[in-house]
Amino acid sequence: AQSVTQLDSHVSVSEGTPVLLRCNYSSSYSPSLFWYVQHPNKGLQLLLKYTSAATLVKGINGFEAEFKKSETSFHLTKPSAHMSDAAEYFCVVSDPDTGRRALTFGSGTRLQVQP
């Protein structure tokens, strides 16, 4: 069975400082991994995805994530936070080889950006 754990429910940074949102996963197969962002009262939007190609994945708005199989991690980073980055972020794992082919969501990390 697949699962995903977001290690921080809330992260607060100052504008212009680095962002680190942590995610660990568990999967029986070679998973696909995603980060989604949700702004208040909006649907979820895909930030980036890992699908067994390059382990360092670049996404939109300057975010990137590194797939580390030995650590079963897929942490999201950004060198310099912007006020517009304040949102809820979800780490998501997919096992395409399972019959269900659905996604498993982490519980989310709320990113707060201080001026």
Partner 1 sequence: NAGVTQTPKFRILKIGQSMTLQCTQDMNHNYMYWYRQDPGMGLKLIYYSVGAGITDKGEVPNGYNVSRSTTEDFPLRLELAAPSQTSVYFCASSYLGTSGATNTGELFFGEGSRLTVL
Residues that bind partner 1 (CB under 8 A): 9, 32, 34, 41-46, 49, 51, 90, 94, 96-97, 100-103, 105-108
Write down the least CB distance from residue 85 to partner 1, Å. Answer: 19
Taking only Cα atoms into account, the Rg of the chain, rounded to an integer number of angstroms, comes to 14
In this structure, what DSSP letter does residue 60 have?
Answer: G
Considering the complex, state which of residue 15 and residue 38 has its C-beta at the smaller distance from partner 1.
38
Considering the complex, state which of residue 38 and residue 77 has its C-beta at the smaller distance from partner 1.
38
Considering the complex, state which of residue 13 and residue 31 has its C-beta at the smaller distance from partner 1.
31
3-state secondary structure at position 65: strand
